[in-house]
Structure 1
Amino acid sequence: MRRTLDYYFAPQSPWVYLGHARLTELLQRTNTEVRVRPADFGHIFSVSGGLPLPQRAPQRQAYRLVELRRFSEALGVPLNPQPRHFPLPGDPSALLITAVAAHDGAAAAMRLTGAIGQAIWVQERNMADATELAAVLAECGLDAERLAQAQDAQTKALYAQHTREAVDAGVFGAPSYVLDGEIFWGQDRLDFVERRLAA
């Protein structure tokens, strides 16, 4: 029987970007289905004790930059730890991914998620800007209509549903991978996801 993994994430997260290609490859190699679940981590932080980046202690902010550089080098994934357009609101890109998942399926939503991460962390583009989001949609070969659909009531309801499901599952950070009810938090836990899939 084909396994299913729930992928909860904030598309603007550098940790999501660092792990996304490896997750995509793992899912393909293990023939695992994915449910693409962008979620509102501002809300999730508020109910789980997390803090948005600008509110964290200076020591934590400084160490985050060290770790981003370490993982970028270790994984061979290019990343600018302090891109021009960050922090930025995650809702515009999260809603767009939600709309694409609903209309075009998980594979298209995964492709778009990877492109958005690349746009933020390598190309330094503003993924809260509708014009830039439209450009990335086109680069992914996706329908321009998805940008308008990202703002409709159905998409917003789905996004809220993903957020509730994340909270109910015990998710508190991004990315989180939920497999058979077990949470794996962070791109550095993908080896454990693979082991769980092999079990």
Structure 2
Amino acid sequence: MAHIDYFFSTLSPFAYFAGTRLEEIAGRHGAGITYKPYDILALYDRLGAPRPQDRPQGRKDYRLQELRRISKKTGLPLNMQPAFWPTNAAPSSYAIIAAQKAGGGDMGALVHGLLRACWVEEKDIADDAVIGACLEAAGFDKGLSFSGMLSGAEEYAANLEEAHTRGVFGAPFYICDDDERFWGQDRLADLDAHLAGEL
């Protein structure tokens, strides 16, 4: 069975724009997914890449245009300047890690729910109540936001190390078990074609 390691940040608008297409693609091909949230700002620092706020103005302007265009193309609404961005991505990431270990719910719905909370619903995804509501809506125990903190913190740090080692440089980033890599929500069609043996 094919497998996809999914590296992402709960702060990424581009991960939000992926929606649940990854899960739909994996379902079509019988592929498994391992969700690997990581600290994207720490990765930028390691790579010597500027953080979003430190990028040249032209690139900042272009990013805003891209976000507007992608919102129209995907049909997914977006608040261009959400009230709680950037926020601490660790608590929501810990919850995702804990939910993946616990099982019993819909991981795609959880990840998208957290991203939507940030980029559409003007909610702080570092807030325990917001995280708990997203867990519950996706079929998980909302208490995972507390019970999974220690192991979540350890795995969150390990995901950063793995991302750096495996050549990840952005989000969303998908790595198949044959080491074929796809960066960006706009490459999901290519990932689909690859799993179908067409690319």
TM-score, scaled to structure 1: 0.92
Matches within 5 A, 1:32-181: 32-104=31-103, 108-152=106-150, 154-179=151-176, 180-181=178-179
How far apart are 1:42 and its partner, in Å? 2.0
Q: Secondary structure at the match of 1:20?
A: coil
- Work out whether residues 131 and 142 of structure 2, in 8 Å CA contact, stay in contact via their aligned partners in 1: no
- Work out whether residues 8 and 37 of structure 1, in 8 Å CA contact, stay in contact via their aligned partners in 2: yes
- Work out whether residues 169 and 181 of structure 1, in 8 Å CA contact, stay in contact via their aligned partners in 2: no
Amino acid paired to 1:92: P
What is the match of residue 185 of structure 2? 187
Amino acid paired to 1:186: G
Cα deviations across residues 131-187 of structure 1 (Å, max 9, x unaligned)? 2212222222321220112321x2211112221111111001011000121221111
Larger helix share, 1 or 2: 1
How far apart are 1:109 and its partner, in Å? 2.7
- Work out whether residues 71 and 78 of structure 2, in 8 Å CA contact, stay in contact via their aligned partners in 1: yes
Count residues with an aligned counterpart: 196
Give the fraction of aligned pairs with identical amino acids, expressed as a percent.
35
Q: Secondary structure at the match of 2:34?
A: strand
TM-score, scaled to structure 2: 0.92
Stretches of 4+ moved more than 3 A in 1? none
Provide the rounded CA distance (Å) in 2 between the counterparts of 1:35 and 1:77: 24
How far apart are 1:122 and its partner, in Å? 1.4
Q: Secondary structure at the match of 1:191?
A: helix
**Unpaired stretches in structure 2, ≥5 consecutive residues:** none
**Unpaired stretches in structure 1, ≥5 consecutive residues:** none
- Work out whether residues 91 and 145 of structure 2, in 8 Å CA contact, stay in contact via their aligned partners in 1: no
Amino acid paired to 2:139: G
Cα deviations across residues 74-124 of structure 1 (Å, max 9, x unaligned)? 11111122112112221111111111111116x633221011111111111
How far apart are 1:49 and its partner, in Å? 2.6
| RMSD between aligned residues | 1.5
